[in-house]
Amino acid sequence: MKKETIIIIGIESSCDDTGVSIIRNRNVLSNIIIHQEIHKKYGGVVPELASRLHDINLAKAVQQAIFSAKINQDQIDAVSFTLGPGLIGPLLVGASFAKSFSMGLGIPLLTVNHIQAHVLSHFIQDANLNNCYPKFPFLSLVISGGHTQIIKVNDFFQMEILGATLDDSVGEALDKIARMLGFYYPGGPMIEYFSKNGNDKKFIFSKPRVSGLNFSFSGFKSDVFQFIKKELKKNTLFIKQNLYDICASIQKTIAEILLEKVQKAIIITGISRIVLAGGVSANSEIRKIFLYFSKNQKNKKFEVFIPKKEYTTDNGAMIAITGLLKYERNLFDSIHVTPYSKFKKF
């Protein structure tokens, strides 16, 4: 007989955030995220340090998640965890923990593809600003620190990549530019913060010309680097005096690059349901521009699903919901699975 209530614990450890969440059916009971502040001063994630901190944080996060969810651990039906892609050390720590947890409690194991989880986070109850689930098929723009992809989603586990970055991901480019401007890692939120009071038309940066639905952010990043270096030669205080405008102009250009590709994808596929996902989709200018153009373009209107901020950056809830959707389809995994760092096809 089908169980009416399914409780899943989701474990995320693919990069620097330790995320553990407990969901009951599609409702989030707890969503604990422990950020690793140590990477700030290094300007990026140091894999060895991230692995050690996941090792320290995971047990704490699991205890907190169970406590906040107000359940007993023997009520958990299955454990899901990120198998890849991501940093191999951090993934191995999460995998070992999840396997032990599953063996200790005698419950099934569910492995999750991190990118798929970003997309499927929209199936958490009330996960997006529309407060409803996107209907299939839809196009998902996944914009994170590790990836930039346009994915055609035909069904929960039938996804097809239509375009991807040929070099840097959008988050990576933002983090590198932010570092040059003197910000800590992760730089995306800092660029957003300083954009607020800036003039986004003050500086013009060239947009990459990439065919089809692919992206390239390395050229854009170099363009910004060259421009700032040139200006610094003329005026050593250039960054300080123009910080707000530089950030606002960068943010606006990136939002436009993403929007233009998605508009192209809508024309090519005829699908006009757009689902934003990944850490960079927390950005308010990107959210604003997509919302505005979804409503205000004659003959080119589209429906856009904007994720709630808590489900944009890495979190355990997106791993738990993906686990739940796999559980419902009996897509269980063996204890012998091993993590992978590079993206594999879905």
Residues that bind ligand KG4 (CB under 6 A): 15, 144-146, 171, 174-175, 186-189, 192, 278-280, 282-283, 313-314
128 contacts which partner out of Zn ion, ligand KG4, none, CB within 5 to 8 A by kind? none
Residues 17 and 33: beta-carbon distance below 8 Å: yes
Residues 328 and 320: beta-carbon distance below 8 Å: no
Output the smallest distance, CB 233 to ligand KG4, in A.
Answer: 28
Output the smallest distance, CB 91 to Zn ion, in A.
Answer: 12
Residues 11 and 97: beta-carbon distance below 8 Å: yes
Residue 240: partners with Cβ closer than 8 Å, 6 or more residues away? none
User: If 0-12 CB within 10 Å is exposed, 13-18 middle and 19+ buried, where does residue 220 land?
Assistant: buried
Of 269 and 284, CB closest to ligand KG4: 284
What is the DSSP-derived secondary structure letter of residue 94? H
Q: Is 148 in the site for Zn ion (CB under 5 A)?
A: no
Of 66 and 306, CB closest to ligand KG4: 306
Rounded to the nearest 10 degrees, the angle between the axes of helix 170-180 and helix 188-195 is 70
Residue 212: partners with Cβ closer than 8 Å, 6 or more residues away? 163
Extract the tokens encoding 10. 């989701």
Output the smallest distance, CB 75 to ligand KG4, in A.
Answer: 29
333 contacts which partner out of Zn ion, ligand KG4, none, CB within 5 to 8 A by kind? none
Output the smallest distance, CB 145 to Zn ion, in A.
Answer: 7
Q: Is 245 in the site for Zn ion (CB under 5 A)?
A: no
Of 85 and 198, CB closest to Zn ion: 85
Q: Is 144 in the site for Zn ion (CB under 5 A)?
A: yes
Of 144 and 165, CB closest to Zn ion: 144
282 contacts which partner out of ligand KG4, Zn ion, none, CB within 5 to 8 A by kind? ligand KG4
Beta carbons within 10 angstroms of residue 40's beta carbon: 14
Say how far apart CA 169 and CA 157 lie, in whole Å: 23
Output the smallest distance, CB 172 to ligand KG4, in A.
Answer: 6
Extract the tokens encoding 248. 């606002």
Q: Is 13 in the site for Zn ion (CB under 5 A)?
A: no
The stretch among 144-152, 162-170, 259-267, 298-306 that binds Zn ion (CB under 5 A) is 144-152
Q: Kindly identify the residues of this chain, within the stretch 298-337, that bind Zn ion according to CB under 5 A.
A: 314
Residues 238 and 232: beta-carbon distance below 8 Å: yes
Residues 317 and 66: beta-carbon distance below 8 Å: no
Of 82 and 242, CB closest to Zn ion: 82
Output the smallest distance, CB 188 to ligand KG4, in A.
Answer: 2
Query: In whole angstroms, how far apart are CA 204 and each of 132, 172, 207, 243?
Result: 38, 20, 9, 14
137 contacts which partner out of Zn ion, ligand KG4, none, CB within 5 to 8 A by kind? none
Return residues touching Zn ion (CB under 5 A): 144, 314
